[in-house]
Amino acid sequence: GQNIDQPTEMTATEGAIVQINCTYQTSGFNGLFWYQQHAGEAPTFLSYNVLDGLEEKGRFSSFLSRSKGYSYLLLKELQMKDSASYLCAVRQDSNYQLIWGAGTKLIIKP
Amino acid sequence: ETGVTQTPRHLVMGMTNKKSLKCEQHLGHNAMYWYKQSAKKPLELMFVYNFKEQTENNSVPSRFSPECPNSSHLFLHLHTLQPEDSALYLCASSQDPIGGLETQYFGPGTRLLVL
């Protein structure tokens, strides 16, 4: 079966670092995406990994290990505006469609 | 207008009503998608259109009927819905679902409540 797991909710402090994990079991793999979704708004693209390793983009980094079926999103220097849900999605190699995790709600406290 | 727009943003309907959701993308993309998002559940892909042709229908009940008259517009016609259909309906578009990096751009969604 197809399965993507993320923690339901995490809490972190403003200025700190937080790591959001995503594990997946899919019948095929053609890349992993992270999206950010603020309450009541559209999901917006954050990062894409298709090869193993770390992709850094400003305060956000995303890591992938295909052999372990594992990814994480690392957020540094947390700001209050980072309070949102973070969605992990795997693109299938059969039909190129995305399979989504349920999202991790990140709460930032002062 | 830029990006992906959806109307209406909120909709309340009875189980016997007929309504339509509209999505428009101003990005010049070739593929459009309908997703259902329920609280604390993963996004569920409903339909995919690529160059106006439906390429995916993920076992969606016939009370949901999509229409894609051109690459920029996508509709979801609703008829005889059930309370469990209450959810956020998201539209997305992408340039090319087959080749290379495939980033989907989402609209703000229509919050649907079925009474």
Name the residue facing A48 among B41, B42, B101 (closest C-beta): B101
Before B8, cis peptide (omega within 30)? yes
Alpha-helical (H) ranges within chain A are none
The answer to whether B112 and B44 have CB atoms below 8 angstroms apart is: no
The upper half-sphere exposure of residue A8, i.e. CA atoms within 13 Å in the direction of its Cβ, equals: 3
Between chains, do A100 and B97 touch, taking CB under 8 Å as contact?
Answer: no
Give me the percent of chain B exceeding a pLDDT of 90: 72
* pLDDT tens digits, one per residue of B4-49: 999 999 999 998 889 999 999 999 999 999 999 998 899 999 999 9
Name the residue facing B42 among A45, A97, A101 (closest C-beta): A101
Coil, strand or helix at A80? helix
Report how far residue A60's alpha carbon sits from residue A72's, in angstroms, rounded to the nearest whole number: 10
The CA-based angle A103-B108-A32, given to 5 degrees, is: 40
Structure tokens at B51: 């160059």
Give me the percent of chain B exceeding a pLDDT of 70: 94
* pLDDT tens digits, one per residue of A70-91: 999 999 999 999 999 999 999 9
Q: Which of B81, B77, B65, B63 lies closest to B16 in space, CA to CA?
A: B81
Coil, strand or helix at A82? helix
One-letter identity of residue A12: A
Interface residue ranges in chain B relative to chain A, Cβ cutoff 8 Å = 4, 40-43, 45, 48, 55-56, 90, 97-98, 101-109
Q: Which residue of B has its CA nearest to A3?
A: B42
For residue B99, name the pLDDT band (cuts at 50, 70, 90).
low
The upper half-sphere exposure of residue A101, i.e. CA atoms within 13 Å in the direction of its Cβ, equals: 30
pLDDT at B98 over 70: no
Structure tokens at A30: 């053609």
Between chains, do A96 and B102 touch, taking CB under 8 Å as contact?
Answer: yes
Report how far residue A22's alpha carbon sits from residue A72's, in angstroms, rounded to the nearest whole number: 6
Using a CB cutoff of 8 Å and minimum separation of 24, what contacts does A22-26 make? Answer: A22/A70, A22/A71, A22/A72, A22/A73, A22/A88, A22/A101, A23/A68, A23/A69, A23/A70, A23/A71, A24/A69, A24/A70, A24/A71, A24/A88, A24/A90, A24/A99, A24/A101, A25/A1, A25/A69, A26/A2, A26/A69, A26/A90, A26/A92, A26/A99
